């Protein structure tokens, strides 16, 4: 099963190829690196230059030595802001997401996750609890947390970077929501402690990076730590009326790996949806943007 968002007016993948992608976020068009766009572009280079408002260029001499951690610089055209807000509507949910041009080329949102935001909202809406408790790990700028809160959940948002959590708080305010619990901590340490405390959650959202560091320098490596993380999550999830969602963006991880990890750790997972997240560009090429697996029980 492969998923692409069906209704995201403020986002469009215009073109892809030559290891880059050309995207529209609201009224602004960005050109950014994309390692999986190995084919040729459908539009000529001159057309790209005419269309984009900002382009991100990696700086090879300033590598951090880790996948996804290459710094660079944005080349801005006139009147291109460094921050702006886009909207994502779904049912009664209206997310306001502040975007910004970071030194790593990220801008604060992964639009391919929108169908997962819908799944979170719909599932919480259907869970038969007065106030479901949801845990979002590696929660970044919080779109998934906002979807859970908009559906009425008691949301615990965990990320190791204070500035990113502050960004998520801005998004909560932009979305006219409140009451999310902000936790600045290493995700692995947090779930280990929650298991010891006997805590339980009705929903767990897990979107880990390939590489990361905690507030005290704790190292996260996806291939080494993901199995332990999912094992711990299996002990935190309620046995009934609950859901689990895992998404990963790593060139070496296929949907089969995600499915094996979940099947190995959740013996009672039941029916699962698994596959790739993608966006089609205007020429119809499907750009893969990570794997996902999710289930309800």
CATH number at residue 263: 3.40.50.150
pLDDT at 95 over 70: yes
For 56-81, what is the mean pLDDT?
A: 75
Label residue 60 by pLDDT band (50, 70, 90). low
For 140-168, what is the mean pLDDT?
A: 97
For 50-55, what is the mean pLDDT?
A: 97
Work out the mean pLDDT of the chain and round it to a whole number.
93
Label residue 68 by pLDDT band (50, 70, 90). very low
Q: Is 26 inside a domain boundary?
A: no
Supply the pLDDT for residue 61: 57
For 11-20, what is the mean pLDDT?
A: 98
Supply the pLDDT for residue 137: 98
Q: Is 136 inside a domain boundary?
A: yes
Write down the number of H helices and E strands in the chain.
7, 16
d(CA 134, CA 119): 13
Q: Helix axis angle, 222-236 relative to 187-197, nearest 10°? A: 30
Label residue 69 by pLDDT band (50, 70, 90). low
In this prediction the pTM is 0.93
Supply the pLDDT for residue 250: 83
Lowest average pLDDT, out of 160-174, 188-202, 241-255, 277-291, goes to: 241-255
pLDDT at 15 over 60: yes
Any idea what DSSP says for residue 79?
A: T
Q: Which domain holds residue 262?
A: 108-296
For 1-20, what is the mean pLDDT?
A: 95
Q: Is 17 inside a domain boundary?
A: no
Label residue 82 by pLDDT band (50, 70, 90). very high
The residues pairing with 278 across neighbouring beta strands, listed in sequence order, are: 288
Supply the pLDDT for residue 215: 83
Q: How far is CA 211 from CA 59, 137, 223, 257, in A?
A: 19, 14, 9, 17
The residues pairing with 25 across neighbouring beta strands, listed in sequence order, are: 11, 28
Label residue 262 by pLDDT band (50, 70, 90). very high
Supply the pLDDT for residue 58: 86
Q: Is 80 inside a domain boundary?
A: no
Structure tokens at 44: 């000529």
For 63-67, what is the mean pLDDT?
A: 44
Domain count, the chain: 1
Q: Is 28 inside a domain boundary?
A: no
Cβ distance 194 to 236 under 8 Å? Answer: yes
Q: Is 172 inside a domain boundary?
A: yes
For 248-255, what is the mean pLDDT?
A: 87
Supply the pLDDT for residue 194: 98
pLDDT at 67 over 50: no
pLDDT at 113 over 90: yes
Q: Is 189 inside a domain boundary?
A: yes
Q: Is 173 inside a domain boundary?
A: yes
d(CA 121, CA 227): 26
d(CA 8, CA 95): 11
């Amino acid at each position: 099963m492969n998923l692409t968002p069906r209704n995201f007016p403020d986002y469009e993948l215009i073109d892809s190829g030559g290891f880059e992608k050309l995207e529209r976020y609201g009224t602004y068009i960005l050109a950014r690196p994309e390692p999986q766009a190995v084919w040729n572009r459908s539009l000529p280079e001159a057309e790209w230059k005419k269309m984009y408002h900002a382009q991100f260029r990696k700086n090879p001499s300033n590598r951090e030595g880790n996948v996804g951690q290459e710094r660079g610089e944005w080349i801005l055209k006139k009147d291109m802001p460094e921050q702006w807000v886009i909207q994502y509507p779904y049912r009664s949910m209206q997310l306001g997401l502040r975007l910004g041009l970071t030194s790593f080329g990220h801008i604060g949102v992964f639009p391919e996750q929108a169908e997962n935001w819908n799944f979170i909202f719909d599932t919480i809406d259907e869970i038969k609890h007065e106030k479901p408790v949801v845990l979002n790990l590696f929660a970044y700028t919080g779109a998934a947390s906002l979807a859970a809160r908009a559906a009425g959940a008691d949301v615990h948002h965990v990320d190791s970077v204070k500035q990113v959590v502050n960004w998520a708080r801005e998004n909560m305010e932009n979305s006219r929501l409140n009451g999310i619990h902000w936790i600045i901590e290493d995700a692995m340490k947090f779930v280990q402690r929650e298991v010891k405390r006997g805590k339980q959650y009705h929903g767990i959202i897990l979107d880990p990076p390939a590489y990361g560091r905690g507030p005290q320098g704790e190292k996260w490596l996806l291939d080494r730590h993901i199995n332990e993380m999912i094992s711990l999550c299996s002990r935190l999830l309620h046995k009934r009326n609950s859901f689990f969602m895992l998404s990963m963006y790593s060139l070496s991880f296929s949907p089969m790996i995600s499915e094996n990890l979940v099947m190995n750790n959740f013996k009672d997972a039941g029916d699962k949806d698994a596959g790739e997240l993608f966006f089609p560009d205007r020429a119809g090429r499907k750009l893969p943007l990570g794997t996902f697996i999710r289930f309800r029980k």
